[in-house]
Chains A and B, each alone.
Chain A
Amino acid sequence: MTSLVLVEIENGLVKQASRSAVMAARAFGDVDVLVVGEGATVAARIEGVVRVLHADLPPLAETIAALMADHAGDYTHLLAAATAFGKNVMPRLAGLLDVQPVTEVVRILDADTFVRPIYAGNALATVRSKDARKVLTVRGANFDPVPAEGGNAAVESVSAAVEVPDAQIVGLEVTKSDRPELETARVVISGGKAFKDAENFRMLEPIADRLGAAIGASRAAVDSGFAPNEMQVGQTGKIVAPELYIAVGIAGAIQHLAGMKDSKVIAAINVDPEAPIFSVADYGLVGDLFEVLPQFKAALDA
C-alpha cells in the first residue's frame, strides 16, 4: 500500500505538521508526497519518502484537489495535516473522489480505523471507513514528525489535466512575528479574558520572549479583540501540545481545553480557585494576574 501526503512548505522548509502527517502515513506503507509550488527538493530530503510529486500551481483548493484526484491512482490513503490549508483542500478532494473524509485524526488503529475527537474533544470516536480509498487529515500534535533530513526521493513533475472553477488569490495579510509558531513551539503562554484589554494582553510578550515561547489566546480573548484569531488555542482555533503550556487568566472552557490538554506540562494562573483550568493543570497558582505576572517575570530573571 502506498499513501500520498500533501505537504506544505513554509520559509523554505517542510512544515512540522506535514512531517507529522508523513509519520501518520507510514502506518499504511510507502509514502509519496505532493508539493505545490516551491520546495520539491526540500521535500525530497524528508526521511523515508519514496517519491515527490511536484506541481507548479497556485496554492488553491480548487486546483490542488483536482490535481490530487487526477493522480489518486493506486494510492490507498491520501493525507494532509489538519492545518487551515489541509482542511481546505482534503474534503474537496474527498468530494471529487466520492469519499467520506475522516478529519482531525489523532490515532490510527489500522488501515481502515481511525480515532478522532468530536464535540470539541468531549468525546473520542473510533470510526471504520468503508471507502476503498481513504482521505484523511491528521493532527500534527498527535504524531511525531519524521526528520526533515535523511531521505533522497525522486522528484517527478505533475500537472492537472482538468478544468477547475474560477478562483484566484488576490491578497495575503501575514501576521509578522519573531516568536516561534504556535503549533510547533516548545513553550506556549496563553492569555484569556481576564487581561481586560489588548494593551494588558501585551504583558505576556516579555515573558514569551524570555522563555522563547509562542503566545496563544483563549477564544474569549480573541472575541474581545485582545488578540488576532490565528493566536486562538482551542477546538475552534489551533490544537497545541507543547512541552509547557502556561494559561494565564483563562478559565478553561471545554473548547479551550480541547486545544491544549495534550500538553506535557500545564501551568495555570487564575484568580478563581474554582476555575476548570486547575483541574487539568500540573501546577496551579491562584492569584490576580496583574500582580502575579510581574512577579513571575522577576522570578524568571532572578
Chain B
Amino acid sequence: MKILVPVKRVVDYNVKPRVKADGSGVETQGVKMSMNPFDEIAVEEAVRLREKGAASEVVAVSIGVTDAQAILRTAMAMGADRAILVQTDLVLEPLAVAKLLKTIVDREEPGLVIMGKQAIDDDMNATGQILAARLNWPQGTFANTVTVGEGWVEVKREVDGGLEIVRLALPAVVTTDLRLNEPRYATMPNIMKARKKPLETIAADALGVDLAPRLETVSVVEPPARKAGVKVSSAAELVEKLRDEAKVI
C-alpha cells in the first residue's frame, strides 16, 4: 500500500507572527519557514507504518512555492521515499488545495492519505475533510492512534469528552492530532540521503483545477491586547480580591 502525505510550508512554530502594517496579512518574507508541525506527525506516522510493513511506499506532496522543496527534503530525510511539489506562487485556500490533492491522489492511487488536522497559519482545519468529501472516501480526523489492517484502518479519534474509535474501509483520509506520535529528528546521514531521493515538480496550473479564491481577506489585525492587572502578595489576598473585588467566587 502506498501512503500519500500532504505537507505545508508555514511560518515556523517558534516565530512570533507579525501582522503587516497595511493589514493585508501576516509577514512571511524574511521569516523562518518550516513544515507544519501536524504534518510532521503525519510524515512520522506514515514512515512508521512502512517500517512496520503496513505500507510499501511513502510519498510526500506539497503545494506551494519553489522553496517548499525544503520541507519535502525534510519529509524525505524523515523517511518518505519520494516527493512531489505542485508548484504555485498563489496563496491557496483549503478547497483549492484539496482539489489539487485529489488530482495527485487520482494519479498516485494511494491506499491512505495521512495529513495534519490543521495548518498553524490559517488554522482552518478543513483540507483533509474536504479532500475526503471530494474523493468520497471515509475520514478519520484528529487521530490519536492509527492501526492498519487488511483493507481497513482503525482510527482512535480525539473527541470532546474522550476518544472515539472508527473503522474505515480503505482507501481513506486520516488527519493527525498532537498525541499521535512524536516525530523523529532528521539525522545528518538521512538528510544527505534525502538529497538523492526523487523530487518531481508539477505546475499547479497544469492540473486543470479552479484555483480562484472564494474568500476575500478584508483585513488582518492584531487582536486587542488585554492589559495586565495587579500583583497580589499572598494566596489569602488573591482569594479576597476574587471574592470581594471581582466577585467571581
Q: Which residues of A contact B (CB under 8 A)?
A: 60-62, 65, 83-85, 87-96, 98-104, 113, 116-131, 165-175, 181, 183, 187, 211, 219, 222-223, 229-230, 235-236, 243-244, 254, 261, 264-267, 269, 278-287, 292-293, 295-296, 298-300, 302
Contacts and interface: CB of A to CB of B under 8 A. Distances in A.
B228 A281 contact: yes
A219 B17 contact: no
A165 B126 contact: no
Contacts, number: 264
6 contacts: A89-B129, A94-B95, A95-B133, A130-B215, A230-B159, A299-B240
A130 B161 contact: no
A132 to B, nearest CB: 10
Contact of A267 (B16, B125, B165, B242): B242
B39 interface: no
B206 interface: no
Categorize the interface residue count of chain B: 35 or more
A299 B235 contact: yes
Contact of A119 (B17, B93, B160, B215): B17
Contacts of A168: 166-167
Contacts of B141: 61, 87-88
Given A100-B214, A104-B123, A229 B95 contact: no
A166 B19 contact: no
Given A124-B223, A128-B218, A236-B178, A101 B168 contact: no
Interface string B212-223: 011111111111
A190 B125 CA distance: 25
Nearest to B98: A95
B217 A127 contact: yes
Interface in B123-142: 123-134, 136-139, 141-142
Contact of B17 (A123, A166, A284, A298): A123
Task: Determine chain A's interface SS by DSSP, over half rule.
Answer: mixed
The residue in A85, A181, A299 that gathers the most chain B C-beta atoms within 10 A of its C-beta is A299
B221 A124 contact: yes
B246 interface: yes
Given A117-B123, A119-B17, 8 more contacts: A85-B159, A100-B215, A166-B138, A223-B178, A223-B179, A244-B246, A284-B229, A286-B231
A22 B220 CA distance: 27
B162 interface: yes
Contacts of A95: 95, 98, 129-134
B110 interface: no
B6 interface: no
A246 B102 CA distance: 45
Contacts of A130: 213-216
Given A172-B163, A265-B242, A129 B229 contact: no
Contact of A167 (B167, B218, B228): B167
Contact of A99 (B127, B165, B214, B241): B214
